[in-house]
Structure 1
Amino acid sequence: MTTYSAVVTTGIYCRSGCGTKPRAENVRTFAHPAVAEAHGFRACLRCRPYRVAGPIAADAPELLCRAVQLIIAGALDTGTEAALGARLAVSPRHLRRLFTQHLGVTPDQLARSRRAHFARRLLDDTDLPVADVAFASGFGSVRQFNRDMRLVFRAAPLELRSRRRRADRLVADGGLVMRLPFAPPLHWPALLAVLAERAVPGVESVRAGGYRRTISLDGEAGLLEVRAGGADHLLLRAHLPFWEGLIHVVERVGRIFGVAADIAPAQAALAGDPLIGPLIAARPGLRVPGAWGAFEIAVDAVLAQHAARPRAREQMAALVGAAGQPVPGLGHGLTHLFPSAATVAAADLRGAGLPRDTAETLGALARAVVQDETLLDGASPLADFVRAVGSVPGVTEDTAHRIALRLGYDDAFPAVARDITRTPGEDSAGAAAWRPWRAFAATHLAVAQLPTVPA
């Protein structure tokens, strides 16, 4: 678990590894940057802790983790703690008590810290005007932006931009370039191999060591490109119709590659396992791949439920071609936006070439998502999520686990992983020892089955 050290004599906090050497009696330790800021400390200019998101402890209550994920998704950008509590079926008072007890900050303080940190990264990496930075970071007004930046960093936005280093500024011929920081290592070739094997034809492309995809923002098309950067970051180039809410675009891109994931507990727990341990040693830093859109991976899982991967890819291409919005002129095999649940629910899936059983299951799933927007939001416990998704006509428990794995459920464990671990005359009971990190184990098992993935 990452910790942050604050020095009471200077009022500055640092992340681990910073070269400062204060006297031990002057140091206080915090589990999250937002907590240090809530106690009046400001970020170190040398190690710049605002560049890496502070992870939540692996042993934190599940309710807290779900609340944090909703905050990251923007639940408090315009909403209130009361609305967040209602969504999680708890009172605002209980929610604040939970945050204070385990994180040391309130939900609003955590949300403010995340917006401010993202804005500081934009001020460092880009030349976006200050007003654009404010709205791209999820602030409701420039006035709120200026106030919160002074609270967190003790300086106005223009002053913070004047402090950036010459090497910070990322210049692009087109689009906006940003760093996606992660805690090293990250096994980029293996992660790309997983994404390539499951890429949505016409929507995603993995070529020449990079990942590209189309996205829809309020019905308008955008293009994202991600490549390897330095030892502690990837590089994102975004071509978007507008910059408002960019923070949520970047968060969603980060989830695809697991850049904010703290994999140290899973690696430590499974390093000694006779099956998973050697796989971890061969590909250290492999993350569980996420996804841009929950409905997108749900469609992929349903198609995989009814057909082998090559056939499922053909069906996905047919669906995208029939129901997706065309986006011409992008190249790299990118031709469409992925269709929404409402579009798929109204589409003639049999006419798109899908078999009857597949079309019926996919149609039922799309209608269920239209009727309940929270069905795939990943905010419920794993058992409840699997039960809810599995209640959709035609969707199996295994398919629900496939979806849950890509949505970030640590203990999701689809049948493909069970099949790999099963030996003649014996079920995969040994996989119970991998709890609660079965998704991490399943990802390593899946990568080991792919051809030509570098170790």
Structure 2
Amino acid sequence: MNAVGAVLTTGIYCRDDCPGRPLPANTTRYPSAAAAEAAGYRACHRCRPYRQESAAVADMPELVCRGVELIADGALDEATESGLAGRLGVSPRHLRRMFLQHAGVTPDQLARSRRAHFARRLLDDTDLRIADIAFAAGFGSVRQLNRVLADTFHGAPRELRARRRVTDRLQADGGLALRLTHDKSLDFAAALAHLAARATPTVEAVSSTSYRRTILIDQDPGMIEITQRSPAELLLVAHLPRLNGLIHHVHRARRIFALDDPAKTCGSWDPFEVGVHDIVRAGVADAARARAILGDLAGRFGTVVPGLAPVGLTRMFPQPDVLARADLDALPIPDATVHALRSFAQAAADDGSATRPIDRSRRSPRSPERGPRPSAVAGSGRSKP
């Protein structure tokens, strides 16, 4: 997490690169913005620390790291700290104690701060309606959004939007444009090359300047495109059937480029995909052939996505329940790989929370760009080459 400095004499907290220079004697350190807010400080208007995404938590105990990741994926949207503690195999009291000791906040306080910061960025960067922002940030109602923003930023949503700067608002030719900030350590060209070598044909499309992929939002198709905006920012343009749960989709997009943990290699939108990729590559030595098999897998068992063929996207990545019952014998892979894929897919279908990010998107309200409901594609073919 990004540590911040809180100024005792003004009641604000700042990023380390803030142009203001308070006396060190008047400053106290907190491990995160959420911790400073829990102590009663408000965000600085000059450096606006809410616009900086939290960095990695690799220096914290594994329990806290896993808890933070689950919270980022929405574990506390409709559940309690007790439910989160149960998923982590500890008591609620121990979980709160560990979070307070190492993150400076309880799990609930961290989730609340993440939602507030994301809503504030949407107020700055977009012209979305207040109601859409509330649900996109994971709030249960506009009233809850108003209350949390008043507590965190000392203002109502319309007042906060009125303070945004002229350069804040992002525009895109269709879709919703959002910033993905990072610490400037990302080599974007190298990241694209790495992703291109692993991309699943028809599901992902990588060029020299952009990464595109299809995504599934509550059984409806969407698409994201990521390009570089500046040395410290990527630009995410999301074409989504609805905005509910947008905060978690943005977190997944950050995970593709490992923005929150530069020590890791670029990853994937979905941990289930990573597992399938690893199983196929373990059974097929040649990387190009393994990639072709993954494309075949998507072509046979992935849901059709209409309208995106001009950018090379026509399928969703196959879902766990589909792969668990699919006829995989027609694929040119060893029998052991077929068995491993079926077992992994069945395990993911039986307990999705263990292998997939949480998706708590609701059915309404809907974005005006809702896509058509796709039809399923059944796999066929019996003989192996």
Alignment of 1:153-172 (within 5 A): 153-172=153-172
AA aligned opposite 2:183: A
Contact 1:2 1:16 in 2 (8 A): no
Q: Distance in 2 between matches of 1:15 and 1:302?
A: 42
1:329 aligns with 2:293: no
Q: Distance in 2 between matches of 1:26 and 1:184?
A: 30
AA aligned opposite 1:149: L
**TM-score, length basis structure 2:** 0.89
Aligned twin of 2:197? 197
Give 1:361 deviation, angstroms.
2.1
Contact 2:57 2:65 in 1 (8 A): no
Q: Distance in 2 between matches of 1:242 and 1:370?
A: 24
Contact 2:283 2:333 in 1 (8 A): no
Q: Distance in 2 between matches of 1:2 and 1:50?
A: 11
Give the counterpart of 1:312 among 290, 313, 316: 290
Alignment of 1:45-60 (within 5 A): 45-55=45-55, 57-60=57-60
Contact 1:211 1:225 in 2 (8 A): yes
AA aligned opposite 1:372: D
Could you list the per-position Cα deviations for residues 24-71 of structure 1 after superposition, in whole angstroms to 9, with x for gaps in the alignment? 221111110001111111111111111112335533111111111111
Q: Distance in 1 between matches of 2:357 and 2:122?
A: 28
Give 1:104 deviation, angstroms.
1.6
Q: Distance in 2 between matches of 1:168 and 1:181?
A: 13
AA aligned opposite 1:317: G
Q: Distance in 1 between matches of 2:357 and 2:170?
A: 34
SS at match of 2:58: coil
Give 1:75 deviation, angstroms.
0.6
Aligned twin of 2:76? 76
Could you list the per-position Cα deviations for residues 150-175 of structure 1 after superposition, in whole angstroms to 9, with x for gaps in the alignment? 11111111111110001100112200
For structure 1, list consecutive stretches of 5 or more residues without a partner in the other structure. Answer: 267-286, 380-455
Aligned twin of 1:106? 106
SS at match of 2:147: helix
Contact 1:32 1:55 in 2 (8 A): no
1:292 aligns with 2:269: yes
AA aligned opposite 1:297: V
Q: Distance in 2 between matches of 1:208 and 1:53?
A: 26
Contact 1:149 1:156 in 2 (8 A): yes
Q: Distance in 1 between matches of 2:357 and 2:135?
A: 26
Q: Distance in 1 between matches of 2:222 and 2:317?
A: 12
Q: Distance in 1 between matches of 2:29 and 2:54?
A: 13
Give 1:218 deviation, angstroms.
1.0
- The 1:50–1:237 alpha-carbon spacing in structure 2 relative to 1, beyond 3 Å, is same
For structure 2, list consecutive stretches of 5 or more residues without a partner in the other structure. Answer: 359-385
Q: Distance in 2 between matches of 1:189 and 1:85?
A: 40
Aligned twin of 2:338? 359
Aligned twin of 2:9? 9
Q: Distance in 2 between matches of 1:242 and 1:341?
A: 23
Could you list the per-position Cα deviations for residues 275-305 of structure 1 after superposition, in whole angstroms to 9, with x for gaps in the alignment? xxxxxxxxxxxx5212111111111111101
Give the counterpart of 1:372 among 351, 354, 363: 351
Contact 1:214 1:223 in 2 (8 A): yes
- The 1:345–1:64 alpha-carbon spacing in structure 2 relative to 1, beyond 3 Å, is same
AA aligned opposite 1:140: G
Contact 1:318 1:353 in 2 (8 A): no
Contact 1:322 1:352 in 2 (8 A): no
Aligned twin of 2:177? 177
Give 1:2 deviation, angstroms.
3.9
Could you list the per-position Cα deviations for residues 246-281 of structure 1 after superposition, in whole angstroms to 9, with x for gaps in the alignment? 0010000001111222x4xx6xxxxxxxxxxxxxxx
AA aligned opposite 2:212: R
Aligned twin of 2:30? 30
Q: Distance in 1 between matches of 2:241 and 2:205?
A: 20
Contact 1:177 1:236 in 2 (8 A): yes
Q: Distance in 2 between matches of 1:250 and 1:342?
A: 25
Q: Which moved more, 1:1-10 or 1:89-98?
A: 1-10
Q: Distance in 2 between matches of 1:258 and 1:303?
A: 23
Give 1:334 deviation, angstroms.
0.7
Aligned twin of 2:85? 85
Q: What's the RMSD between the two structures over aligned residues? A: 1.7
Q: Distance in 1 between matches of 2:101 and 2:206?
A: 43
SS at match of 2:307: strand
Task: Write 1 or 2 for the structure with the bigger share of helix.
Answer: 1
Q: Distance in 2 between matches of 1:317 and 1:242?
A: 27
Sequence identity of aligned pairs in percent?
51
AA aligned opposite 2:318: P
- The 1:378–1:237 alpha-carbon spacing in structure 2 relative to 1, beyond 3 Å, is closer
Alignment of 1:272-287 (within 5 A): 287=264
Give 1:350 deviation, angstroms.
1.7
SS at match of 1:70: helix
SS at match of 2:215: strand
Give 1:375 deviation, angstroms.
3.9
Contact 2:210 2:227 in 1 (8 A): yes
SS at match of 2:77: helix
